[in-house]
């Protein structure tokens, strides 16, 4: 057990050092996320609608958090290929569960820090008052929804193995679909009827629904102002769905990853050039 923990921490710190190596990229992407979030939030400010402003801010922050979880796990394979360490990692006498657990732990830490920086910067643009929100409940929802997104990230991580040149870019397709159908900036009811069923299989849909209730901004336009954030007991349905999705997606993600890993080893797809 001690050896497994040490191996997990080793992967976590390896990714930390990789992030430091590409710090200029981290700064650029974080700056873009700050500007993008502020731009979206200022739409609500320009309309003089506090409820809309909070809804846009919540959507932008939550999407930033969850999409980083998804994309960074998926891109971990790409980073290793760039460094030329992918073959060594996959051939090392370390279980894939330990490897991916270390990667996932780092990504959660990175997502939290990045979101905190965005929130702090956002306060320079907008008077952000969270006194009526159930912040503790929102943190619980983020923790539960993170598990489902980690599972999705594990499945998306196989794409760079399939295609060294275009695999990382292909993960943006999945990310774009989730952004479209999850109602990040609008209620899912405004989607075309044929597209709405997809929203029910996206974990972001339930995370957003729960966080809006906990923020006190509800779901529909019938509530023009912010009310007191709901207690955690009122989002039990969303939490159960998210927990179930996580329980399914993590094993499924590991299974898909194992299948592709075996294929890559048999066909020699682990070298730097693919």
Domain residue ranges in the chain: 2-267
Per-residue pLDDT tens over the stretch 169-205: 677 788 888 889 998 998 888 899 998 999 999 999 9
Mean pLDDT for 137-164 is: 83
Angle, CA of 229, 61 and 187, to the nearest 5°: 65
pLDDT at 33: 92
**212 to 143, 218, 224, 235: CA distances (angstroms):** 16, 5, 13, 10
Mean pLDDT for 212-224 is: 67
Q: How confident is the model at residue 228 (pLDDT cuts 50, 70, 90)?
A: low
Mean pLDDT for 125-141 is: 82
pLDDT at 221: 43
Task: Quote the CA–CA distance of 116 and 31 in Å, as a whole number.
Answer: 13
Task: Quote the CA–CA distance of 238 and 204 in Å, as a whole number.
Answer: 10
- Percent pLDDT > 90 in the chain is 22
**H-helix or E-strand containing 170?**
helix 167-181
Per-residue pLDDT tens over the stretch 78-123: 777 666 676 677 777 777 778 888 888 888 899 999 999 999 999 8
> How buried is residue 3: exposed, middle or buried, by Cβ count under 10 Å (0-12/13-18/19+)?
exposed
Q: Are 70 and 235 in contact (CB under 8 A)?
A: no
Q: How confident is the model at residue 230 (pLDDT cuts 50, 70, 90)?
A: confident
Task: Quote the CA–CA distance of 98 and 102 in Å, as a whole number.
Answer: 6
Torsion-angle region of residue 128: left (phi > 0), alpha (psi -120 to 50) or beta? beta
pLDDT at 176: 86
Per-residue pLDDT tens over the stretch 239-266: 999 999 999 999 998 888 888 877 877 7
- Percent pLDDT > 70 in the chain is 88
Higher pLDDT pick, 201 / 133: 201
pLDDT at 140: 92
Is residue 24 classed as helix, strand or coil in its secondary structure? Answer: helix
Q: How confident is the model at residue 156 (pLDDT cuts 50, 70, 90)?
A: confident
Asked if the model's pLDDT at residue 44 lies above 80, the reply is: yes
Q: How confident is the model at residue 27 (pLDDT cuts 50, 70, 90)?
A: very high
pLDDT at 121: 92
pLDDT at 48: 84
Higher pLDDT pick, 61 / 264: 61
Asked if the model's pLDDT at residue 12 lies above 60, the reply is: yes
């Amino acid at each position: 057990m001690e050896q497994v923990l040490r191996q997990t921490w080793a992967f976590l710190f390896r990714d930390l050092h990789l992030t430091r190596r590409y710090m200029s990229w981290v700064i650029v992407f974080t700056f873009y996320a700050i500007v993008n979030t502020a731009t979206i939030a200022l739409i609500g400010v320009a309309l003089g609608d506090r409820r809309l402003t909070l809804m846009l801010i919540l959507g932008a922050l939550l999407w930033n958090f969850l999409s980083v979880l998804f994309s960074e796990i998926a891109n971990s394979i790409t980073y290793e290929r760039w460094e030329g360490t992918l073959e060594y990692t996959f051939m090392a006498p370390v279980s894939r569960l330990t490897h991916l657990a270390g990667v996932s732990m780092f990504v959660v830490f990175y997502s939290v820090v990045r979101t905190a920086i965005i929130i702090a910067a956002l306060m320079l643009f907008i008077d952000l008052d969270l006194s009526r929100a159930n912040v503790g409940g929102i943190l619980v929802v983020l923790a539960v929804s993170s598990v489902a997104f980690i599972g999705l990230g594990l499945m998306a991580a196989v794409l760079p193995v399939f295609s060294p040149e275009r695999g990382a870019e292909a993960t943006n397709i999945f990310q774009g679909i989730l952004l479209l159908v999850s109602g990040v900036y609008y209620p899912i009811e405004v989607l075309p009827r044929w597209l709405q069923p997809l929203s029910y299989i996206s974990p972001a849909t339930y995370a957003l629904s729960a966080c809006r209730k906990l923020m006190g901004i509800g779901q529909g336009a019938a509530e023009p102002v912010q009310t007191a954030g709901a207690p955690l007991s009122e989002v039990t349905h969303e939490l159960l769905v998210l927990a179930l999705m996580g329980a399914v997606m993590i094993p499924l993600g590991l299974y898909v990853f194992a299948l592709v890993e075996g294929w890559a080893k048999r066909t020699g797809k682990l070298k730097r050039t693919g």
